[in-house]
Chains A and B, each alone.
Chain A
Amino acid sequence: MQRSLRSWFMIALPLLLAVSLAVLAWVTRPQSRIPEGREEVVFWHFWGGTDRAVVEEIVDRFNNSQQHYHVRAVAMPGNNLDMKMFLAVTGGDPPDLINQDDPIVADWAHRGALMPLEEIATAEEIQQLEGWLFPAARELGSYEGRLYGLCNGLDIRALYYNRTVIEERTGRPAPQQLESIEQLDKLATECELREEDGKLTSPGYLPDPRRLWAWGVVFGGRFIDESGKVTCDDPEIVRALEWMNRYREKWGANTLAAFRQGDQSLPGKTFPLLSGRYAIVMDGQWRVRDIPADRSGEFGVWPLPHPAGTERQADGWVNGNLFLVPRGCRSPRGAWEFMKFWSGFGGHEAEAARACSLGGWIPPSQQVVDQPRFQQYLQENPLFARFVELADGRQVPTPVIPGARMYEREVNRAVARSLYTDNPDDAGSLLKAAQRKVQQQMDRVQGRKEGP
């Protein structure tokens, strides 16, 4: 009797534990705050810090304006949102909408993981949208002629300069505009500081290996051709790298490496332009808010200069933040409504202008830029306004191709090898090797026969 009781106990105990856990999970389940009769839209985004509060405000305003949908925002700051999304899609439980800035549109669209917007919106809306967006914003979300992503902010690069440092070191005011690459070089040389033994302590300007993407297009090169073939060995891009190499030839690879590639991107108050560590730094519009308001007069922004004696082919290289709808999500219509609300399309321009003013984001459409609220913001933030002026210009978008991230890695690695190693192969050979490798990968992904 005692033994039988013990056997029962041994079976009952795990069962009891399992039941208790199930009850506990039920009792402590997250309480849904979705108003009755509304459809939930799960939205994953990468925004953190002060931006997160802006995102939450946009979500609240959308939810308050709605009768049909309710957005639940899930913040995933960091740089692995795409991996989490990828796993969620694979696992069959994707969010309804994501917003992120990595070049993944083509990779996922090619594999059928994204819904083209034409499956969610009407044909008329898509037609209007294509005319509404800045050309670069449209291209960033398009793959093989179909629109997969809706851009809600462009990231544009230009040259920030420290007016005070330039005046102190050159003895004359900083120019209003840089006319050419040669003028940049001259100014950089005039602004550099060295110790007695010749050691560089404060560069005027140093090229960052991750910026060939911008310099390459300003020199007139293109990273893909019209057929979608990888062309990072374009003679003009090679010329841009050769120009960057002149800084290595001048200072040596070790000096350049010591001013590491991430140095110019240090965040917040550590932004080296503020301390005068550099006189000129290339960066995006998001840097404007790192400059304290009471010191904003000390700094300026120049569009990227191009080589003297050549025709200007492009103003710069652009990427951006995109809304993407994973295939298999539950509420694509709700996702569409929310992305329109945020980006400003479909009569929401005033809302988008508000959001862009709060976040310091470059709108994806001139119609948002023209809103009174945004115009007022531009008047109050002249440095930021310089970036917005460039948005409608000849900005070359980052290539939307499968394997774009590998392309980015390989080009950056080739440039770093060129800048940070002594006696590297010539610029052309390094970029040709990167081109071959990336094209092979693209061919593999697209199932094409590899070329010679």
Chain B
Amino acid sequence: MPDPSQRRSRRRIPAGWLFISPWLVGLLLLFVYPFFASLYWSFCRYDLLSSPEWIGTEHYQRIATEIWNGDGFGNALWNTLYYAALSVPLSIITAVLLAVMLSWRIRGQAIFRTLFFLPSIIPLVASSILWLWLLDPQSGLVNHVLGWFGVPSQLWFQGVQEAAHPGTFLEFGSKDALVLMSTWGVGNFMLIYLAALGDIPHQLYEAAALDGAGRGRRFWHVTLPMLSPLILFNLVLGLIKSFQAFTQVYLVSEGTGEPVGSTLLLSLHLFLAAFQDLEMGYTSAMAWLLFIVLFIATALLFRSSRHWVHYRTSLGG
């Protein structure tokens, strides 16, 4: 004799499936099918207009050659790594410092918090145009201000930065301009840190102060470890975001990745290969490599996190 509660649960299963069916259909059609189809296409010559033609690992061999020569995918990978390596840490550092400063109880605290958050809700299109003006080599405000401190005029978005010629110290080019631009949207990260700062038990600071720790040491030994789970979260998120950065690059380079391919990040390279050169097979192969690179990078971050991320345990009584 089946348990009546089990019978009741079984009866509710169809309703449950019905409720999640829109999501399920979307997941299968828009994510699962394209996910596996793109893996198949990465081994095919395919332009969407005609049937895929199996060519084995040709696209992967081409990508390997391009990485070796620093051309095409190799150039885009170098650009993306450069961008990610600078923009992710810079965004996190900026966001943490801003959050710490905005947690100080000063007059107008709410206004400052709003002001620093505002840029992150400005549409990327508007902020990209703004940065193009600010970083104009001839008439931009940034070069003007740098001039007051004796820093020579920079080319910013017009500056060619290639792997072979990355530029010298105090010579900022197109990728540096993109990195600088990325700090503009740290408001979201900042808000998360701000919330977490309010959650750090005050006793920890008191105990550190009693042990003679100054402001700097309290920040280093209390604030940062307590924020570390969120730093890990933002690090992973920032890394993924930087590998997918597209809109700003498309806008500032008018969809070309210029000058001389210096701003051709992976996502833009994928876009051009797919929709201008109609090479869906090659694009799929690149997308899969991008996925694998991101997967490995995220796994490594999580693995390393045991050495530097401190999860809170109960303080006990």
Are A14 and B138 in contact, with the CB atoms below 8 A? no
Complex CA distance for A253 and B159, rounded to whole angstroms: 10
Are A112 and B49 in contact, with the CB atoms below 8 A? yes
Are A413 and B258 in contact, with the CB atoms below 8 A? yes
The SS class assigned to the B binding surface is loop
The listed residue with most B CB atoms (<10 A of its CB), out of A7, A14, A260, is A260
Complex CA distance for A240 and B112, rounded to whole angstroms: 56
- The chain B residue sitting closest to A405, CB to CB, is B276
Complex CA distance for A235 and B128, rounded to whole angstroms: 40
Which B residues, 87 to 145, have Cβ-Cβ distances below 8 Å to chain A? 137-138
Give 25 pairs: A residue, B residue, CB < 8 Å, sorted on A: A10-B15, A10-B19, A79-B255, A80-B275, A86-B48, A86-B278, A111-B47, A111-B50, A112-B50, A257-B155, A258-B155, A412-B256, A412-B258, A413-B260, A413-B261, A416-B259, A416-B260, A417-B260, A420-B160, A420-B259, A421-B160, A421-B162, A421-B260, A422-B165, A441-B277
Min CB distance A312 to B, Å, is 32
Are B276 and A258 in contact, with the CB atoms below 8 A? no
Complex CA distance for A254 and B143, rounded to whole angstroms: 14
Are A416 and B49 in contact, with the CB atoms below 8 A? no
Min CB distance B280 to A, Å, is 10
Which 7 residue pairs spanning A and B have beta carbons closest together?
A258-B137, A111-B49, A260-B158, A83-B275, A257-B158, A10-B15, A90-B48
Q: Does A315 contact B (CB under 8 A)?
A: no
Residues of B within 8 A of A113 (CB): 49
Q: Does A89 contact B (CB under 8 A)?
A: yes
Are A406 and B276 in contact, with the CB atoms below 8 A? yes
Residues of B within 8 A of A409 (CB): 256, 272, 276
Q: Does B254 contact A (CB under 8 A)?
A: yes
Are B48 and A261 in contact, with the CB atoms below 8 A? no
Complex CA distance for A405 and B18, rounded to whole angstroms: 47
Known: A7-B12, A257-B160, A421-B165. A86 touches B275 (CB 8 A): yes
Number of residue pairs spanning A and B whose beta carbons lie under 8 angstroms apart: 86
Residues of A within 8 A of B202 (CB): none
Complex CA distance for A138 and B276, rounded to whole angstroms: 24
Min CB distance B69 to A, Å, is 10
Are B258 and A416 in contact, with the CB atoms below 8 A? yes
The listed residue with most A CB atoms (<10 A of its CB), out of B45, B47, B49, B254, is B49
* Interface of B toward A, CB cutoff 8 Å: 8, 11-12, 15, 18-19, 45, 47-50, 71, 137-138, 153, 155, 157-160, 162, 165, 254-256, 258-261, 272, 275-278
Complex CA distance for A3 and B272, rounded to whole angstroms: 57
Min CB distance B29 to A, Å, is 14
Q: Does A403 contact B (CB under 8 A)?
A: yes
- The chain A residue sitting closest to B152, CB to CB, is A254
Q: A10-B19, A409-B276, A444-B45 are in contact. List 7 more A-B contacts (CB 8 A).
A: A107-B278, A111-B278, A254-B159, A257-B158, A406-B277, A412-B258, A413-B260
Residues of A within 8 A of B256 (CB): 409, 412
Q: Does A11 contact B (CB under 8 A)?
A: yes
Min CB distance A76 to B, Å, is 14
Q: Does A37 contact B (CB under 8 A)?
A: no
Are A262 and B155 in contact, with the CB atoms below 8 A? no
Q: Does A271 contact B (CB under 8 A)?
A: no
Residues of A within 8 A of B11 (CB): 7
Residues of B within 8 A of A437 (CB): 71
Complex CA distance for A330 and B277, rounded to whole angstroms: 27
Min CB distance B13 to A, Å, is 11
* Interface of A toward B, CB cutoff 8 Å: 3, 7, 10-11, 14, 79-80, 82-83, 86, 89-90, 107, 111-113, 253-254, 257-262, 403, 405-406, 409, 412-413, 416-417, 420-422, 437, 441, 444
Are A403 and B49 in contact, with the CB atoms below 8 A? no
The listed residue with most A CB atoms (<10 A of its CB), out of B11, B18, B160, B254, is B160
Which of A107, A258, A406 lies in contact with B153, CB distance below 8 A?
A: A258
- The chain B residue sitting closest to A260, CB to CB, is B158
Residues of B within 8 A of A403 (CB): 277
Complex CA distance for A421 and B255, rounded to whole angstroms: 21
Complex CA distance for A258 and B173, rounded to whole angstroms: 11
Are A258 and B158 in contact, with the CB atoms below 8 A? yes
Complex CA distance for A37 and B47, rounded to whole angstroms: 38
Known: A7-B12, A14-B19. A259 touches B275 (CB 8 A): no
Known: A111-B47, A420-B259. A257 touches B137 (CB 8 A): yes
- The chain B residue sitting closest to A108, CB to CB, is B49
Complex CA distance for A7 and B138, rounded to whole angstroms: 70
The listed residue with most A CB atoms (<10 A of its CB), out of B12, B159, B258, is B258
Which of A107, A253, A258, A412 lies in contact with B138, CB distance below 8 A?
A: A258
Residues of B within 8 A of A257 (CB): 137, 155, 158-160, 259
